[in-house]
A and B are shown apart, each in its own frame.
Chain A
Amino acid sequence: MTARQIMTADEIRRALVRISHEVVERHGGTADLALVGVQRRGVPLATRLALDIAEHEGVTVPVGALDITFYRDDLSLVAHQPIVKGTDLPFDPNGLTLVIVDDVLYTGRTVRAAMDALMDFGRPRAIRLAVLIDRGHRELPIRADHVGKNVPTSREEVIRVHLLEVDGDDQVEIDRLGAEVALA
């Protein structure tokens, strides 16, 4: 096993609490704010952030789920994966500040696709980005507003985020590409 743990469950929890504070601070409140989790693991992360915000602000911010599959460009094709669950935005995005939530920020193409998708639903006032891990190697001019942990990586490495809701446990691992058995 060449995998190495880089975030424990507690570290994830603390990072999310910090991000939840930052989001509200940056926005100056919770009015006209919504979180949009990118399928798959961005969704439970967004839900947890909403719960954290509710705890310290007493307000529940709406959470949506976004499937960006139909907006990918060719270069980000990934081999066989479970089929995704779809898009559900239970709010009108017009005039809102949307915070895109995802687990890992890498080339930036997913976020670009997410922005394209959101634009098809309406005209948000602003779009921000919160990620658990930023691993570098951006191919597009995209920057996260809120980062759980910066992890410099090489292209031969892969980041695996485990979340209770999806994987049964909470942790983040880094491993060598090709050493994996199950795809993340």
Chain B
Amino acid sequence: MSLSADPQAPPISSGAEPATDALVDRGWRHRHLLDVAGLDEPDLDLVMRTADEMRGILARPIPKVPALRGISVTILFYEASTRTRVSFEVAAKNLSADVVNIAAASSSVAKGESLIDTVRTVEALGADVLVMRHGRSGASDLAARVFSGHVVNGGDGWHAHPTQALLDLYTLRDHLPDGDLHGRKIVIVGDILHSRVARSNIWSLTTAGADLWLCGPATLLRGFEPLAAALPASRRLTVTTSIDAALAGADAVMALRLQQERMSGGLLPSLREYAARYQLNAARMVGAAPDAIVLHPGPMNEGVEIASDLAAGGRSVITEQVANGVAVRMAVLYLLTGGRTTETADG
């Protein structure tokens, strides 16, 4: 987007198609972001375009705008997480919001104060937006029932991690031709069963038209074959235990972290066996598309689900995911609090 010095040059290009008034978008209609399952293609598109704006702001010398001035964002994390928590905090501050950070060390039950009481307290202290991460599926839905402002789910149990799915989508669009996922083969490998990242990505990626594959050991894929069968035909989901079938021709591959706890639950014999059969490494990626990219939500167990050289190599977009996470979270906070990217009709 720039003007050349030549007076014959076309007027300043805005980077988008010459939009007419017919291209009205609905704006953002959701009070909370608990899940990506409730977002349709226009919603996803709006988040992506808003994130583009935010990325523009992040590139400025002062990466800050007053859009959320006077808005109070409380970050309430019941599970330890540095990267997501800091990402939300940076996002909120870049929009000039006031941020309060609460790291609850354990579940509300163990602590003695119920989740509902904690949320009510947060509300009484003036929070407009509540960003929550919790170990139980449905916890942010519960918070949304009692909180009068906006709730952003920063991850609940195995259920959903909407901002992660959105930043994954954003990153994929950056790298796929025309930013279009329709028909692209995207693969998620790892502990699907316990992964909220996988579950959310199932919705966002199939809504965006991707041909999504889930791959892992059978014990960690339990229940996803019947889910794939129950989904409408418009959502393309394939479940396989064969890493080679999954990676063949893949345009993008996402590795999920494998946790040691899975071994003690009897789900897997050992991490070594998992790595031998499912680790993403350069050798396995030979079967993928030549310009296939590699993603990971982090934090990584290098040497387990992903080889170090692949994580740091040319195919990896993992660090971009982190940067994009801030832009996407800025977009989410902006849209939820009622901001719309609009043009002034009045002056």
Chain A positions within 8 Å of B, measured between CB atoms, are 37-40, 43-44, 46-48, 50-51, 54, 60, 62-65, 67-72, 76-88, 90, 102-111, 116-117, 120-122, 131, 135, 158, 165-168, 182-184
Contacts and interface: CB of A to CB of B under 8 A. Distances in A.
Contact of A80 (B19, B24, B64): B24
Given A85-B16, A90-B3, A110 B56 contact: no
Nearest to A117: B65
Given A80-B26, A81-B342, A120-B60, A88 B18 contact: no
Interface residues of B, number: 47
Q: Which 4 A-B pairs have the closest CB atoms?
A: A85-B14, A70-B65, A81-B342, A70-B67
Given A76-B346, A82-B343, A120-B65, A183 B15 contact: no
Contacts of B20: 82, 166-168
Contacts of A63: 3, 12
A81 B15 contact: no
A129 B102 CA distance: 46
Given A70-B66, A183-B24, A88 B1 contact: yes
A165 B12 CA distance: 10
Nearest to A160: B345
A60 B15 contact: no
B158 to A, nearest CB: 34
B343 A102 contact: no
A143 to B, nearest CB: 12
Contacts, number: 153
Contacts of B67: 69-72
Interface of B: 1-3, 5-7, 11-12, 14-16, 18-27, 46, 49-50, 52-53, 56-57, 60-62, 64-67, 95, 334, 338-347
A81 B24 contact: yes
Contacts of B52: 86
A51 to B, nearest CB: 6
Contacts of A117: 65
Of A44, A62, A87, the most chain B CB neighbours within 10 A belong to: A87
Contacts of A77: 338, 340, 342
Contacts of A64: 3
Given A69-B341, A120-B65, A131-B347, A82 B24 contact: yes
A57 to B, nearest CB: 11
B53 to A, nearest CB: 6
Contacts of B5: 60
A84 B342 contact: yes
Contacts of A38: 344
A107 B15 CA distance: 29
Of B5, B14, B46, the most chain A CB neighbours within 10 A belong to: B14
Contacts of B15: 85-86
Contacts of A83: 16, 25, 46, 49-50, 341-342
Of B11, B46, B62, B339, the most chain A CB neighbours within 10 A belong to: B11
A184 B46 CA distance: 20
25 contacts: A60-B6, A63-B12, A64-B3, A69-B340, A70-B53, A70-B65, A71-B67, A77-B340, A78-B343, A81-B342, A81-B343, A82-B23, A82-B25, A82-B343, A83-B46, A84-B343, A86-B15, A87-B56, A88-B1, A107-B347, A110-B346, A120-B64, A121-B60, A165-B18, A183-B345
